[in-house]
Amino acid sequence: MSKRKSSEATHATQEDAHTRVSYQGIPFSYCFNAASVFFNNELGNVTLKESLSLASVFGAVISGDCHYGVVPIESSYHGTIHGVYDRLVASRGALTILAELSLVEEHCLCVGGKSTGIDIDIDSVHCHPHILECCSDA
């Protein structure tokens, strides 16, 4: 999303003095990865800023603190993220979707200790609840 019109929106170029991008989540989250891929930082002029909520990403773009925001619009497990569309409508056209990037959600179970990964009994898993919800066999 951006306050700029879609005809003016491009990937960051050398013409941009410094592009600031807010993303929902923490470093190495899905939104961070999407922002890193989309705003290829080869030129070193892109700063990625983490925001822990959709509201703070939208707020950063609306206030002008960031030029762009990266938020999820759909999850393969949870479906459409309605809060994103609600905030776009509430912005009354100030923000628009400029691009879409699809990333596959991949999760791994890591086991500590001297386990070989074969014939192990798992008693409990400690992680963010969303990760377990994304696993169809959980």
> In DSSP terms, which residues pair with 19 in a beta bridge?
46
Q: What is the DSSP letter of 121?
A: -
The Cα 31–Cα 7 span in angstroms is 24
89-108 pLDDT tens trace: 999 999 999 888 887 777 77
17: CB partners within 8 A, 6+ apart: 45
Torsion of CA 122, 111, 27, 23, to 10 degrees: -30
- Contact 77/132 with Cβ under 8 angstroms? no
Domains annotated for the chain, with CATH where assigned, are 6-90 (3.40.190.10)
Q: Give whichever of 15-19, 25-29, 56-60 has the largest mean pLDDT.
A: 56-60
- Contact 69/21 with Cβ under 8 angstroms? yes
Q: What is the model's pLDDT at position 43?
A: 59
Maximum Cα–Cα distance across the chain: 57
Statement: the pTM of the whole predicted model exceeds 0.75: no
Look-up: residue for tokens 């990403």? 57
